[in-house]
Amino acid sequence: MSQRPVTESPPALQLRGVACTFVAKDDPGQRYTAVRDVALTVGAGEFVSVVGPTGCGKSTLLNVAAGLLAPSTGTVDVFGQALAGINTRAGYMFQAESLMPWRTARQNVMAGLEFRGATDAGTQADEWLRRVGLGGFGDRYPHQLSGGMRKRVSLAQTLVLDPDIILMDEPFSALDIQTRQLMENEVLDLWAQKKKAVLFITHDLDEAIAMSDRVVCLSAGPGARPIGEFAIDLARPRDVAEVRATPRFIELHQAIWSVLRDEVLKGYQQQLAA
């Protein structure tokens, strides 16, 4: 969206003219364009949130950025280089349960390091489990942990690899509000230490404003595209619970909601009609 001069160091993630059209396998005539004309830039060290009505293709966009899904048209650049295949500089925190159920929490955190052939996987995993507050839970299997704990393990699993880009797909949507705010603050703390580029997908506008440097709004699907972009100039470090009461937060919320409201209603009508 915002054109950056070429001389500046390339953005962590740059999507240009991205469109994703899905074709039904059994009926090639059935097409569904989830997103189109998407231009999105995440600078190095920038925390960007994407909000939009349900089913508008937010997760599709994240899968494109992760390299799990090739866009129908358009290009993805990662630190100035065209992306082909899996985005190896990115870590991905999924919305659904993504831990391997046959591995303990510690083994799950170690997984990525093992795949890369790291020799000190064990010590690093222990370090990260401690950092997300699960030091004593390393030998538990995922089904023996609560939903919030599993999310922490996922977080450790992603961050232990020290990715330059962190992709998050509504990571806390399944958590209760208290656990959620705790986790949001923890993520902000961890982010503040390392300043990675973050692309955060959420349907919760409060969460998006409280955490991000920039919020991008998507229109309702099909053919969702960015329809607005807001810089969040709230001071850091922030506490996600406290920042919600500040006047500036409320102003921003109203401004973004005025753009988003019509799209949310449109998306809701479409779901009712379908």
Partner 1 sequence: MWQSIKPSHRNLRVWQLGLLAVIFVLWHVITKPGLIPPIVFENDQQAAFFFGEPLKVFGRIWAWFFTQADIYQHLWVTLLETVLAFGIGTALGLGLGLWLALSPLAAAIADPYIKAANSMPRVILAPIFAVWFGLGIASKVALGVTLVFFIVFFNVYQGVKEVSPVVLANARMLGASHRQLLRHVYLPSATSWVFSSLHTSVGLAFVGAVVGEYLGSSRGVGYLILQAEGAFDINTVMAGILVLTVFALGLDAIVGRLERRLMKLQPKSGETEKL
d(CA 56, CA 197): 23
d(CA 210, CA 22): 33
Q: Does 98 bind partner 1 (CB under 8 A)?
A: yes
Cα dihedral 60, 69, 180, 211, rounded to 10, equals -80
- Using CB under 8 A, count the residues that bind partner 1: 25
Q: Does 91 bind partner 1 (CB under 8 A)?
A: yes
Structure tokens at 27: 């009926």
d(CA 169, CA 161): 18
The one among 1, 23, 84, 100 contacting partner 1 by CB under 8 A: 100
Contact string (CB under 8 A) for partner 1, positions 113-132, x = contact: -xxx----------------
Structure tokens at 69: 């899904």
| Residues 6 or more apart whose Cβ sits within 8 Å of residue 141 | 101, 102, 103, 104, 105
The one among 157, 181, 212, 219 contacting partner 1 by CB under 8 A: 157
The one among 88, 178, 246, 269 contacting partner 1 by CB under 8 A: 88
By beta-carbon proximity to partner 1, the closer residue of 127 and 206 is: 127
Structure tokens at 191: 């982010």
Cβ 199 to partner 1, closest distance in Å? 13
Cβ 6 to partner 1, closest distance in Å? 30
Contact string (CB under 8 A) for partner 1, positions 38-77, x = contact: ----------------------------x-x---------
d(CA 233, CA 226): 20
Distance of CA 172 to the CA centre of its chain: 10
Which residue stretch of 98-106, 126-134, 239-247, 254-262 sits at the interface with partner 1 (rule: CB under 8 A)? 98-106
Point out which residues bind partner 1 (CB under 8 A).
66, 68, 86-88, 90-92, 94, 96-102, 111-112, 114-116, 141, 143, 157, 161
